Amino acid sequence: MEITSLGFRTDLLLLELSGSEFRDTGEYVVVRTPENPGFWWGNFLLYRTPFAPDDTEIRLDEFRREFPDAKHVAFGIDSTDGDVGAADELTAAGFTVEPNVVMTAERVVPPARPNEQATYRFLTSDDDWEQVYHQSLACSEMTVDDEYKEFTRRKLVTKRDLVDSGHGKWFGAFDGDRLQSSLGLMFDGAGLARFQNVQTSPEDRGRGLAGTLVHHASMYGLTKARTLVMVADPEYLAIRIYRSVGFTDSETQLQIVRPPA
């Protein structure tokens, strides 16, 4: 299965390692995660072409056929240039187009103002991982209801299984035993390392923790991979942190989503 987008290629790698299933129809790839049906970006259709006029209804029907019980609708486009196609039709149908920046680095530099008070280390204990769970809820922009808590718990199990299976590491910045910032770094075994879920607890932001942790994890990652990959929201301030330590913009990854009603 050939995937052009570096963002989606590394996404699918991590999903495959986590037990997701793929089916290539030629026009699109069905990505399915039976263990977590509420995971939008584990249950979606990845198309090989942008949306032509009238494609929205056609692709909606294809999604409903592939995922008859899904409450969400999610599409990706396997491209690098950010061209979604018929954007007006997607907007009229209630979709949000999310262009993310795929960033890469083959060397990194320290942040201008590193945080030297925190301790930077791998996650090692049940308590460390439980703190990641609560941090993820605190950092979420979604409504944190019981369904979202269950989704987050299932994602946490997947993250830990990947680490325990030797596919990567999860890093944390700590004040004593209290987790302040965290992220994952997963390896494809062929020279790529993909960052996951860079987050800092709301009460600890603005202290240089994320930039210092990204640099710390990058230095480790470059001992095991040639290229580091980061996917970032272009509107979120964290993208400046990644650029400041040496990441450069390489591609645009397109995600198109309509949340549950």
pLDDT, tens only, 54-90:
999 999 999 999 999 999 999 999 999 999 999 999 9
Extract the residue ranges of the chain whose pLDDT is less than 50: none
Q: In the prediction, which pLDDT does 1 show?
A: 85
Per-residue confidence (pLDDT) for residue 14, from 0 to 100: 92
Among 221, 209, 219, residue whose Cα is nearest residue 172: 209
Note the pLDDT of residue 166: 96
Percent of the chain with pLDDT over 70: 100
pLDDT of residue 237: 83
pLDDT at 87: 96
Residue spans of the domains in the chain: they are: 6-100, 119-245
| pLDDT for 71 | 95
The predicted structure's pLDDT at residue 142: 85
- Eight-class DSSP state of 104: E
Please name the residues in contact with 61: beta carbons below 8 A apart, sequence gap of 6 or more. none
Q: Which fold has domain 119-245?
A: Aminopeptidase (3.40.630)
Say if CB 17 and CB 166 are below 8 A apart: no
- Contact call for residues 93 and 75 (beta carbons, < 8 A): no
Indicate the pTM of the whole model.
0.92
How buried is residue 112: exposed, middle or buried, by Cβ count under 10 Å (0-12/13-18/19+)? exposed
User: How far is residue 137's CA from residue 131's CA, in Å, rounded to a whole number?
Assistant: 10
Given this model, what pLDDT does residue 141 score? 86
Contacts of 212 (CB under 8 A, 6+ apart): 111, 114, 115, 116, 118, 120, 173
